[in-house]
Chain A
Amino acid sequence: MTMKLLNSAKNILSFSQLKLVMLLLFAIPSAHADWQLNMREGVTEISRTIYSLHMTIFWICVVIAAVVFGIMLYSVIYHRKSRGAKVQNFHENVYVEIAWTVIPMVILIGMAAPATGTLKKMYDQSDSEIHIQVTGYQWKWRYQYLEQDVDFFSSLATPLAQINNQEPKTENYLLEVDNPLVLPIGKKVRFLITSNDVIHSWWVPDFAVKKDAIPGFINESWAIPAEIGIYRGQCAELCGKDHGFMPIVVEVKSQVDYEAWLAGQKLAQIEKAKSAEKRWTLDELMVTGKEVYTKSCAACHQASGEGIPGVFPALKGSSIVQGDPAAHISIVLSGKSGTAMQAFRDQLSAVELAAVITYERNAWGDALGDIISPSQIAKMKQ
């Protein structure tokens, strides 16, 4: 029977043709794809323990499945009417029933014990050396190093053209950010996770850290990264339109490199403050403004400024954009609570704010000719 099938298959398709078809079928999506089947082991002690828990429970399930499905398959093959199987009328057996209640109980207890131990370890926040507040925003992350004066936002770096299939997708498509979180190797880092708007979830698979970022709550989690490298994760809780576009990238560096990076961050902040004092022309502001707009505003208000009717209001032709600059600045600085419109006061520098507001007031044919200067913003920020 099988031979016959094989022969007929050969007649239809030669083996090389078949290979070609298979190749075509699986090669279409992308050249970078792989067939990863299992959980990553990760780079922390906890993530490795979790991986082994996962494998243990998996194999327990496989063994139980083999036994149960095996017996079932045996019955299906041998106890079928067409083979003349005669019914044996039994329908109760107290001993068997007790056995298959007690044995699973024992297996479960055996499984619960190591799980409890691991969970206890995961909840032990003591002796943390570095504290980082992680705040979820629609749709980016903010990292504040509590002992240092370092505070920045981290958002998707994949260009829109790749997402819209106008450019070929690069290796870390959707898993790359402008400013990654940087950690030193071998230190216990405690993450204090919260949110500014809706619930997000901060997930780095290689650390086995996944904690919901909930507005009004601060959740804790920790990791001791044991290997230098770049680790990528994503927001795990549906948080609105761009939930799929707020990745997390963590760079683990050596202690020396980490300290150098910290120093660099502080320097950059000083430079940022300096540039606010410079005199900016309309053209300069428009160029910077467009960049900022694309990164921080276009997700909702759209590149065209037309918004999405009923969800995100249009800026083009809006009374705020065409009206008093003070009101415009105020809503950008403070946001509108209970909506996706966040407060950009801390997210953007005075220059960026001035640029983006100038851009909004002059792009899309409104052309009010307004120039909002960084110093004006700085004044209103206070």
Chain B
Amino acid sequence: MTTGTEQVVEAEIETAEAGKNESFDGAIADTDKNESTTEHHHGPAKGISRWFFTTNHKDIGSMYLWFSLTMFMVGGCMALMIRTELFQPGLQFIQPDFFNQMTTMHGLIMVFGAVMPAFVGLANWMIPMMVGAPDMALPRLNNWSFWILPFAFSIMLMTLFMEGGGPNFGWTFYAPLSTTFAPPSVTYFIFAVHMMGISSIMGAINVIVTILNMRAPGMNMMKLPLFVWTWLITAFLLILVMPVLAGVVTMMLMDIHFGTSFFSAAGGGDPVLFQHIFWFFGHPEVYIMILPAFGIVSEIIPTFARKKLFGYSSMVYATSSIAFLSFIVWAHHMFTVGLPLAGELFFMFATMLIAVPTGVKVFNWVATMFRGSMTFETPMLFALAFVVLFSIGGFSGLMLAIAPADFQYHDTYFVVAHFHYVLVPGSIFSIMAATYYWLPKWTGNYYNEKMGKIHFWLSFIGINITFFPMHFVGLAGMPRRVPDYALQFADFNAVATVGAFLFGFSQLLFIYNVVCCIRKKNQASKQVWEGAHGLEWTLPSPAPYHSFTKPPKVD
């Protein structure tokens, strides 16, 4: 505890000292050594090299967000291919092996290429502005952690065109299907995962260092905006679990190429070991994809309810306990592998326990709205949909936690419905909410509110038509990851496909709106939203290239 306080004090002294010098030369000098360091209010470099060599948190944040959007569209096209094949029973459109490649790639791209980079992009843009810093603490590392990603994903997507095709063993890549039984391209997949892991770890280090050291004077930990808090916790999760992922893919590599038998029973290994290691990474990973979303929603709801967030400190504690619990529930993904009874019980109880802090968060959001003075701009609509639909995903999660019932739910479309409810209207909606919420601050222009609302309603209707019927086919007995299905599942699958196309194509509206917002001048005010609070709203719109060159005062 003492070290924590000392760190905070130290950080405060540091920022205060930096304040005396009236600039953060240390952080800025990196961006442009050729220019005189006395000139602080310079803009970005010109031309393409701006993007290659930039160390600016806003440039890097934008690149992360555009990258994420690109991957979202790529992964989305794969989802539409899957849904097209599943529109009717029988094989019409793609063959089973390619279908498996699509489900695998769709999952990997959406998790590692769309959701995670989007949150890192938001962190890059917002954390320095929210804590009153000029930039991220480690700007060169920041550049590198972004630029690894396009290469990692190029390698991964390249595998689709290799002989034998791309990874076809599901995004969870269970051994031995992903080792000795895998197509040769699995080695490229392993390499790509390593690169993504390096990128994530560096991004996480940067976030932690920035938050702990670069807060404006007076901003103690319990004054941090919740988005910053949730990202701080997320960053710790990333640092703790990404090496585990790296470990497991390295073990796969050894099994494939160097004659080891970590996961091969024939050589004395253990295929279940793979699942334990994978889910020890995988479960915290799903919280990595939702905790920043909690933070975003906790920023947006108070703004549009014009009321302070209910239970700030309980939100911080709830997030921390969710993060802690995420490390002791991994085997609830493995209730059917033949765990001993004691194991089943422990993981069932621990999993059910997560409902408590998650419930606290939802209750806090609802209490924030209660007796507020609400308006319903696009970010608020997405945030409200988040609360409702994420809760539905939470409820199905609670059902899945009941181990005996899980024997019926496991590996069916009920699970698919569950995790899409927490990921699409959960993570993805929060990212869209955040984009609409902060877009005027980023670009200096208001987006088209009417178009935003239409985008929201189409997305909302689309995803419910897509994913709600999946609960039904799952309970009725349709396994996941099948390219074809029995006739009794046909109707709901057809409905889901229609919904998927509606959701998919309505995203074009989002892209159009964002592009228009960047191009057209519809000058946004400094405050942007009437009820907004926080340091980012004290900066002009668009925010200056170096955010806070003088540390702001926080009461």
User: Which residues of A come within 8 Å of B, CB atoms?
Assistant: 26, 28-30, 32-40, 46, 49-50, 53-54, 57-58, 61, 64-65, 68-69, 71-72, 75-76, 79-82, 85-92, 96-97, 100-101, 104-105, 108, 111-112, 115-116, 118-120, 122-123, 162-165, 169, 171-175, 197-199, 201, 203, 205, 208-212, 214-217, 219-220, 232-245, 308-311, 337-340
Q: How large is the interface on B (under 10, 10 to 19, 20 to 34, 35 or more residues)?
A: 35 or more
Q: Across the interface, name the chain B residue whose C-beta is closest to A85.
A: B373
Query: Once bound together, how far apart are the Cα atoms of A165 and B90, in whole Å?
Result: 6
Least CB distance from B245 to A in Å reads 19
Least CB distance from B255 to A in Å reads 9
B395 contact from A64, A87, A239, Cβ within 8 A: A64
Are B408 and A104 touching (Cβ within 8 A)? no
A172 contact from B306, B366, B480, B486, Cβ within 8 A: B486
Query: Once bound together, how far apart are the Cα atoms of A87 and B84, in whole Å?
Result: 48
Whether A79 touches B374, Cβ cut-off 8 Å, given contacts A119-B403, A244-B482, is: yes
Are B336 and A111 touching (Cβ within 8 A)? no
The answer to whether B341 has its CB under 8 Å from any CB of chain A is yes
Whether A217 touches B338, Cβ cut-off 8 Å, given contacts A198-B177, A238-B170, is: yes
A210 contact from B312, B348, B355, B410, Cβ within 8 A: B410
Contacts of A30 in B (CB 8 A): 88-89, 487, 490
Q: Across the interface, name the chain A residue whose C-beta is closest to B374.
A: A80
B391 contact from A35, A65, A171, Cβ within 8 A: A65
The answer to whether B370 has its CB under 8 Å from any CB of chain A is yes
Are A244 and B479 touching (Cβ within 8 A)? yes
A216 contact from B97, B265, B349, Cβ within 8 A: B265
Number of A-B residue pairs at CB separation under 8 A? 322
Are A215 and B265 touching (Cβ within 8 A)? yes
The answer to whether B134 has its CB under 8 Å from any CB of chain A is no
Are B348 and A112 touching (Cβ within 8 A)? yes
Q: Across the interface, name the chain B residue whose C-beta is closest to A121.
A: B404
Are A241 and B100 touching (Cβ within 8 A)? yes
Query: Once bound together, how far apart are the Cα atoms of A58 and B89, in whole Å?
Result: 30
Are B370 and A37 touching (Cβ within 8 A)? no
Query: Once bound together, how far apart are the Cα atoms of A91 and B367, in whole Å?
Result: 8
Binds A, one of B4-12, B34-42, B159-167: B159-167
Are A311 and B408 touching (Cβ within 8 A)? no
Complex interface bits, B171-182 against A, C-beta within 8 A gives 1, otherwise 0: 000101100110
Are A241 and B398 touching (Cβ within 8 A)? no
Whether A212 touches B336, Cβ cut-off 8 Å, given contacts A30-B487, A87-B372, is: yes
Contacts of B264 in A (CB 8 A): 215, 338
Binds A, one of B422-430, B470-478, B519-527: B470-478
The answer to whether B70 has its CB under 8 Å from any CB of chain A is no
Whether A211 touches B352, Cβ cut-off 8 Å, given contacts A71-B370, A118-B404, A238-B177, is: no
Query: Once bound together, how far apart are the Cα atoms of A33 and B359, in whole Å?
Result: 38
The answer to whether B553 has its CB under 8 Å from any CB of chain A is no
Whether A97 touches B180, Cβ cut-off 8 Å, given contacts A79-B373, A111-B352, A210-B407, is: no
A53 contact from B89, B165, B405, Cβ within 8 A: B405
The answer to whether B363 has its CB under 8 Å from any CB of chain A is yes
Are A123 and B341 touching (Cβ within 8 A)? yes
Are B266 and A216 touching (Cβ within 8 A)? yes
Whether A237 touches B411, Cβ cut-off 8 Å, given contacts A65-B392, A80-B376, is: yes
Interface centre among A120, A239, A241 (most CB of B within 10 A): A241
Query: Once bound together, how far apart are the Cα atoms of A19 and B265, in whole Å?
Result: 58
Are A243 and B164 touching (Cβ within 8 A)? no
Query: Once bound together, how far apart are the Cα atoms of A57 and B352, in whole Å?
Result: 12
Q: List 6 A-B contacts (CB under 8 A).
A: A89-B307, A96-B367, A119-B345, A205-B477, A233-B477, A244-B485
Q: Across the interface, name the chain B residue whose C-beta is closest to A220.
A: B338
Interface centre among B344, B481, B485, B490 (most CB of A within 10 A): B490
Are A88 and B181 touching (Cβ within 8 A)? no
Q: Across the interface, name the chain B residue whose C-beta is closest to A27.
A: B491
